Amino acid sequence: MTDDKDVLRDVWFGRIPTCFTLYQDEITEREAEPYYLLLPRVSYLTLVTDKVKKHFQKVMRQEDISEIWFEYEGTPLKWHYPIGLLFDLLASNTALPWNITVHFKSFPEKDLLHCPSKDTIEAHFMSCMKEADALKHKSQVINEMQKKDHKQLWMGLQNDKFDQFWAINRKLMEYPAEDNGFRYIPFRIYQATTERPFIQKLFRPVAADGQLHTLGDLLKEVCPSAITTEDGVKKNQIMIHGIEPMLETPLQWLSEHLSYPDNFLHISIIPQPTD
Amino acid sequence: MSKTHFQTRNGTSVTEQLFPQAEDDLELFSDDSEVVGPAAASEVIRYEYHVLYSYSYGVPVLYFRASFLDGRPLTLKEIWDGVHQFYKAHLLQEPWSTITQQEHPILGQPFFVLHPCKTNEFMTSLLENSEKDNRNINYITSWLSIVGPVVGLNLPLSYAKAMSQHDAKPDCYQVSESNLTC
């Protein structure tokens, strides 16, 4: 019988085969070959694409290079969203590899946050972790940690070190014995077709009668349109880390095992493929 | 709630509007027709301020951005240059006011955000003191008058005057006990 802990490893080591191609209007001194890379689902684009940047900058002049940004089928990719979320939301039902276009000009100021350095990614990551703990533990657990523990979480993510990361992160997954779970579940629900970037609300993992709330309960409450059926036919896929968990899965379990390193459950609602 | 105002580079304010909205529903208003033609040496900057409520922290959060009329956005440094000297010195001392660029949770566009984590601390003491003095205050007005000027948003005195005439008790905003630190 698979241990629950194996799920944590499977989530952490998930990869997406990606092909990076330079945008055709970029000015190059020679032909730019596409660059192939396995992207970690749980990380962030600007954290893992140094090699991509170097590869394309080799064929460009310094003056034609400004801040790198990525795009998929015309949609600028938000580096501050985890890679796995971007893929599930935008490309999960298309053939692999994931084809991403690389840009060095005309940064889309209205769509993307700037990412001047790794420190920006770290600040964003830690800010998400803090918000998650504010919801789970009123910030008590994360505030009790020392600065070096926070650093260890970040370094674990940056260097793809599962054990280093979870040595600290496990503390953020604990809860008082008398409760049956966290105070509120950190989650965000994304749907490419809506105006709003995501849905995030306060939602408890345990009902007043002590019953554990399920994924289905969450959706019914905050995004009922996601699970309605059209004449009994399933309209949407509810996807986390490339899989569709059963709607009966307890939300508390999902939060402990299928959260991203930032401790949020990033859930994608995508149209059911018609094949 | 959102507010847009236009300001010339040398600091003269041109128009101000404040539109209260339901928490979830935000619209952007700008009234180009009221903009006075700028002097040749200065440029007109359009500032937008949004007050949103963070369910996670239980406090209001100030989102803002600025752009020139041609649409070019101001960098944080350029906005910072427009902040009054007094607040600059103050901000550098008080680490509670970290400003970062973040995605607006409803519009999905980049805004600058004043970090909410110390809000609870200073609002708690403010509310306690006003209770002691038996003064009526509006949480949002008081909060905005503290954090606003730090990012170039100056609240007209009329807001405070309106409150003192009103018989309203401090609003529905509950200050929770959790001590939130950065």
Q: Where are the domains of chain B?
A: 2-9+42-162
The residue length of chain A stands at: 275
Instruction: Kindly list the domain boundaries of chain A, sorted by start residue.
Output: 15-103, 117-174, 175-267
Instruction: Note the pTM of the prediction, 2 decimals.
Output: 0.83
> Are B103 and A80 within 8 A, CB to CB?
yes
The better pLDDT of the pair B6, A110 is held by A110
What is the domain class of B2-9+42-162 according to CATH? alpha beta
- Separation of alpha carbons A217 and A205, rounded Å: 10
DSSP one-letter code for B34: G
Confidence of residue A244 (pLDDT cuts 50, 70, 90): very high
pLDDT exceeds 70 at position B15 = no
Angstroms from B9 CA to nearest CA on chain A: 21
pLDDT exceeds 60 at position B8 = no
Residue of chain B whose alpha carbon sits nearest to that of A115: B101
- Separation of alpha carbons B20 and B55, rounded Å: 19
Please provide the CATH number assigned to the domain covering A117-174: 1.10.246.190
Q: CATH 3.10.20.90: does it fit domain A175-267?
A: yes
Catalytic annotation present for B182? no
Q: What's the CATH fold of domain A15-103? A: Ubiquitin-like (UB roll) (3.10.20)
Which tokens sit at A140?
Answer: 């008590």
Amino acid at A224: P
Query: Of all residues in chain A, what percent are helix, strand and coil, respectively (each to 5)?
Result: 35, 20, 45
DSSP one-letter code for A200: -
> Which of B83, B107, B117, B160 is an active site residue?
B117
- Separation of alpha carbons A12 and B124, rounded Å: 41
Q: Cβ contacts (< 8 Å) between B113 and chain A: which residues?
A: none
| Tens of pLDDT, residues A15-44 | 999 999 999 999 889 999 999 999 999 999
Question: What's the ipTM?
Answer: 0.89
Average pLDDT for chain B: 65
DSSP A42-66: TS-HHHH-HHHHHHHHTTS-GGG--
- Separation of alpha carbons B77 and A163, rounded Å: 39
The better pLDDT of the pair A67, B92 is held by A67
Taking the Cβ of residue B109 and every Cβ of chain A, the question of whether any pair is shorter than 8 Å is answered with yes
Of A18-22, A125-129, B146-150, minimum mean pLDDT range: B146-150
Of A116-130, A189-203, B19-33, minimum mean pLDDT range: B19-33
Q: Cβ contacts (< 8 Å) between A195 and chain B: which residues?
A: 108
